Structure 1
Amino acid sequence: MPFGSSRVRRRTVPALAMAAAVALALGGCASYETTAPRAARDRASAVSQDTAVQGVDCRKATCVALTFDAGPSEYTPGLLDILKRENAHATFFMLGKNHVVEHPDTVRRIVAEGHEPANHTWTHRILTEIPSAEARAEISRTQDAVERITGRRPVLMRPPQGRTDDEVSRICAELGVAQVLWSVTAKDYDTNDSALIQQRVLDQVRRDGIILLHDIYPGTVPAVPGILAELHRRGYTVVTVSQLLAPAAPEPGRVYRP
């Protein structure tokens, strides 16, 4: 969901070129370190000789990760039809209440068709603004629901509005999920103009980027074919977040952001 007016100031971390940032969140200052996808890949390659990647290897291919937040919804089956036709895969950061539990067949289809299931909390509460026990429940309830439906427990979580801090990171580490932010947003929550959504994505996209869209708004899914076509024309390979990080595995608690 939208990052609002948050600003990020980057600094250099010596070891293995790990990216870091200090985010000034809407609700106050929150300092946390982030890791770029390329830095994660470089680190994994540096510490192990066994770095073979099944499928797309984003160390060689020009990759961009496609992600959808806050579904599934009535629009998601049509989106899955498009992705299947275009042989593209995405990561779905799903909400538990009124979404995962209301659309179990769609959740099963997401996994069956090779997409990556991920967590966007139970009710989209801002994790940095609620007690730790409630933040933990927001994440764990969706973990449990997705696992009950698919047999697969998510390893990625996107904090609502991108707001996180050290306490949220500690909870995520305990629950076994890495945090994923983004570099491209179409702000499709404020427009149903599919052409505008498409243009906003394409204006921002760069190699190793993470695209944020929502499969809950009527203007978003119609924009996806044009986005995919132009990304392909520009030489991009569309992947899931975990594919973007490989051969690194998502590290629980860590915050990934291009």
Structure 2
Amino acid sequence: MVVMYKLFFILLLLNQLSLFAHSNSRDSIRGNSWFMDVNQTLFLGQWGTNTVKPLPVGTYKNVITHGDGTLKNITLTFDDAPDELNTHKLLDILKENDVKASFFMIGENMRGSNIALVKRAYDEGHLVLSHSFSHPRMTDLNATGMSAQLDRTSQRIEEITGKYPLLFRPPYGAINPLVVDVTNEHNMTTILWSMDSLDWAIDDPKPIVQIVGSKIQSGDIIMMHCNSSSVGALTQIIKNLKEQGYTFVSLEDLLKIKAYRQQLNEKK
């Protein structure tokens, strides 16, 4: 009964969010809230009529939710990496299907045996990007705390891969003017999403496959997580979307932006 109620609530939520043309819940696997905050609601309500360029919506600049929809290109992104149980399984599936993705990494998780997973993801052509150091809600921090989250994670990624990331996804998608301003001051672009797989809320892979397959649009940034639900759903998602004529491309190629700082003298 509890499972049925939860599924009903998720379906109701999807229906409520249909005015945005996609499911865009702001929760991740570690989230507790079921709803988007006011900032995100206002922002995402306008993304559908914009282009791939960084979107100036109110005070938000250099925040991206989707790519160019003129071609049937899409990209996969995974939050909350690396983890010992699921990251290597996702990498195996991506390798088997010749698909490149982006992994938004949590800084404090990139240690011990997980370092090898970070290196593997990078060596196999995936983007290794920032998802903060300790997965806080960035809107709860002051500017100093935000900067520390960005700097510590980027430095750790650089130590492991040799590349300093320029793309950041805030945990829970939580943004406000200060979060965006601090991110911009670090010469980083805020990357959100336009397609939420809801893998953070659903254990059964089948509904996840159905949600992505039925809601997908050209230019979508698909948000998934490093969890068992995504592992169970990923192979079928890739198969279905390829059969629908979609091409999986990297986040860099979809957005026509750089994922890493290329020159040593370029400001961090």
Q: TM-score, normalised by structure 2?
A: 0.74
> In the aligned structure 2, how far is the partner of 1:105 from the partner of 1:250?
21
Report the equivalent of 1:5.
Answer: 35
Q: In the alignment, residue 2 of structure 1 is paired with which amino acid?
A: D
Find out whether 1:146 has 2:157 as its counterpart.
yes
Contact 2:195 2:223 survives alignment (8 Å): yes
Cα deviation for residue 38 of structure 1 reads 4.7
> In the aligned structure 1, how far is the partner of 2:106 from the partner of 2:234?
21
Report the equivalent of 1:55.
Answer: none
Pick the aligned partner of 1:229 from 218, 226, 239: 239
Contact 2:75 2:251 survives alignment (8 Å): yes
| 1:207-222 correspondence to structure 2 within 5 Å | 207-215=218-226, 217-222=227-232
Report the equivalent of 2:102.
Answer: 91
> In the aligned structure 1, how far is the partner of 2:158 from the partner of 2:149?
15
Report the equivalent of 1:200.
Answer: 211
Q: Which has the higher helix share?
A: 2
CA RMSD of aligned residues (A): 2.8
Q: 1:65 to 1:144 in 2, by over 3 A?
A: same
Report the equivalent of 1:50.
Answer: none
Report the equivalent of 1:32.
Answer: 60
Q: 1:166 to 1:213 in 2, by over 3 A?
A: same
Report the equivalent of 1:71.
Answer: 81
**DSSP 3-state at the match of 2:155:** helix
> In the aligned structure 2, how far is the partner of 1:251 from the partner of 1:105?
20
Q: 1:79 to 1:152 in 2, by over 3 A?
A: same
> In the aligned structure 1, how far is the partner of 2:147 from the partner of 2:54?
27
Q: In the alignment, residue 168 of structure 1 is paired with which amino acid?
A: V
Find out whether 1:173 has 2:184 as its counterpart.
yes
Q: In the alignment, residue 153 of structure 1 is paired with which amino acid?
A: Y
1:91-119 CA deviation, whole Å, 9 max, x = no partner? 1001111x222400000001100001110
Cα deviation for residue 11 of structure 1 reads 8.0
Aligned length in residues = 222
Q: In the alignment, residue 118 of structure 1 is paired with which amino acid?
A: L
Q: 1:218 to 1:38 in 2, by over 3 A?
A: closer
> In the aligned structure 1, how far is the partner of 2:52 from the partner of 2:125?
31
Report the equivalent of 2:175.
Answer: 164
Q: In the alignment, residue 79 of structure 2 is paired with which amino acid?
A: D
Where do 4+ consecutive residues of structure 1 move more than 3 Å?
Answer: 11-22, 33-39, 248-252
**DSSP 3-state at the match of 1:66:** strand
- The runs of 5 or more residues in structure 2 that have no matched partner are 1-25, 29-33, 262-268
**DSSP 3-state at the match of 1:136:** helix
State the percentage of identical aligned residues. 28
Report the equivalent of 2:110.
Answer: 100
- The runs of 5 or more residues in structure 1 that have no matched partner are 23-30, 40-57, 253-258
Q: Which has the higher strand share?
A: 1
Q: 1:226 to 1:16 in 2, by over 3 A?
A: closer
**DSSP 3-state at the match of 2:165:** coil
